[in-house]
Amino acid sequence: MVDVQVRDAPDEHRFEAVTDGVVVAFSMYDTVGTTVVFTHTEVDPRFEGHGIASALVREALDAVRASGRDVVAYCPYVKGWIARHPDYQDLVRHSKS
């Protein structure tokens, strides 16, 4: 796995995975009240297959949890990642009927 740091870039509305000072992946989001809506995740093709997207999403969701917010995952990658990690499903905002 590539050494990667994840940071929130709120002005860009995304979490970024950075290696050697270069953004190699990002996960776009919007904020609606206390909900973080993940809309798109992208990894530079040169860095695919190194676990970067998984690390990015895990750390982004950890940051959301630490801030006391919840999540809506429109991004297929984030949605699938949460489905495979039951310990993060408590973050998912459920619609109230």
Which tops the pLDDT comparison, 94 or 24?
Answer: 24
Residue 16, pLDDT > 50, answer yes
Note the pLDDT of residue 36: 98
List pLDDT tens digits, range 22-58: 999 999 999 999 999 999 999 999 999 999 999 999 9
Dihedral over Cα of 22, 28, 32, 34: its sign:
negative
Residue 86's Cβ-count burial label (10 Å; 0-12, 13-18, 19+) is exposed
The pLDDT of residue 29: 98
User: What phi and psi, each to the nearest 5 degrees, are found at residue 51?
Assistant: 80, 10
Tens digits of residue pLDDT in 54-77: 999 999 999 999 999 999 999 999
Residue 96 has pLDDT above 60, yes or no: no
Q: What fold is seen in the domain 5-91?
A: Aminopeptidase (3.40.630)
What is the helix (H) or strand (E) element at residue 75, kind and residue range? none
> Mean pLDDT, to the nearest integer, of 76-94?
95
Cα distance between residue 75 and residue 38, in whole Å: 6
Residue ranges per domain, the chain? 5-91
